[in-house]
């Protein structure tokens, strides 16, 4: 089994609605995102997925969130609280749906969102 990881980042503000503390106030993060791919089958070049493709596709997905107030961004403006947990799931789903990812022999198995150097959440497939 091969495990491949790529990292990306974006900056965005949010507030965790109804949180009983400071996180209910508007604040921002320098979000770091790590996508994990796994598989046993390599392509004709001997790659699980080209790092270049994985990084570029992750960057394109993250660009949709960059420099936004997440609470005004779908689906967070539709009642989904913009927690790190929900953000990890939504980014995972958007990345997995991209044609470049779906067409590779790699399987997107996890996506980790870091909202600070010491705080992260991982969403896994399944």
Q: What tens digit of pLDDT does each residue of 72-91 get? A: 989 999 999 999 999 999 99
Across 30-53, average pLDDT: 95
Instruction: Pull the structure tokens for residue 97.
Output: 């749906």
| Tokens found for residue 95 | 């990345």
105-115: average pLDDT:
96
93-108 pLDDT, tens digit per residue, is 999 999 999 989 899 9
The pLDDT of residue 125 is above 90: no
Question: What are the chain's domains?
Answer: 2-124 (3.30.479.10)
Counted residue by residue, the chain has a size of 126
């Amino acid at each position: 089994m091969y495990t491949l990881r790529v990292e990306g980042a974006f900056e965005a503000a949010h507030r965790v609605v109804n949180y009983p503390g400071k996180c209910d106030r508007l604040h921002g993060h320098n979000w770091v995102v790590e996508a994990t791919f796994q598989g046993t089958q390599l392509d004709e070049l001997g790659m699980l997925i080209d790092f270049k493709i994985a990084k570029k596709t992750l960057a394109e997905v993250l660009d949709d969130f960059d420099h936004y107030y997440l609470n005004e961004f779908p689906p967070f403006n539709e009642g989904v609280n913009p927690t790190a947990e929900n953000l990890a799931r939504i980014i995972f789903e958007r990345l997995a749906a991209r044609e470049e990812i779906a067409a590779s022999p790699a399987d997107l198995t996890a996506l980790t969102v870091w909202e600070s150097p010491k705080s992260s959440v991982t969403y896994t497939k399944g």
